[in-house]
Structure 1
Amino acid sequence: MNAENATQAETNLSWRTSSYSTGSGGECVEVALTAAGVHVRDSKCVAQGGPVLTVGTEAWSALLEAM
């Protein structure tokens, strides 16, 4: 797992809003999938250069299975 500022993260990622996020501005989680892993960010913090969490594909799969 790795955390970095959004300005340091890959800028050409295809981000999508999590199905668990609401349209009313709460819990706005975005994910971007790559061969290296899954990038996760809080969409409310993107403009401020907030952190991006990168999780390996095996860890991401385990998380989804646990839900």
Structure 2
Amino acid sequence: MSTAHLAWFKSSYSGSQGGECVEVAVEWRAPGSGERSGPGPAGGLLAGAAARPRTVHIRDSKCVRPASLAFTPRAWSAFLRAARG
């Protein structure tokens, strides 16, 4: 999957000295994409429902090609909990 269309940002832990940096990008699932975002009439979407993350991508800022790692939102949360100890 190409990630060229994603808006990447650096981790808040990345320093300005050119050290190791991790970049993150979120691919969003738009409301109305066929998934319920909350209890609505007949299982539909709630009015004004917000977009939710579909996939979280991470990559090394110094090696942006060829690949990134992709996580589901649930797997990303588990990864962060484990990394924080």
Query: Where do 5+ consecutive residues of structure 2 fail to align?
Result: 28-52
Letter in structure 1 aligned against 2:74? E
In structure 1, distance between residues paired with 2:15 and 2:66: 20
Q: Which residue of 2 aligns with 1:15?
A: 8
* Larger RCO (CA within 8 A; separation ≥ 6): 1
- Percent sequence identity is 50
In structure 1, distance between residues paired with 2:66 and 2:20: 15
Which entry has the higher C-alpha Rg, 1 or 2?
2
- In terms of fraction of residues, the more strand-rich structure is 1
TM-score, L = length of structure 1: 0.72
Moved over 3 A (4+): none
Task: Write the deviation string for residues 17-60 of structure 1: whole angstroms up to 9, x where unpaired.
Answer: 001211111121100012321100101012xx232111111011
TM-score, L = length of structure 2: 0.59
Query: Where do 5+ consecutive residues of structure 1 fail to align?
Result: 1-7
Q: Which residue of 1 aligns with 2:22?
A: 29
Q: Note the aligned Cα RMSD (angstroms).
A: 1.5
Q: Which residue of 1 aligns with 2:66?
A: 50
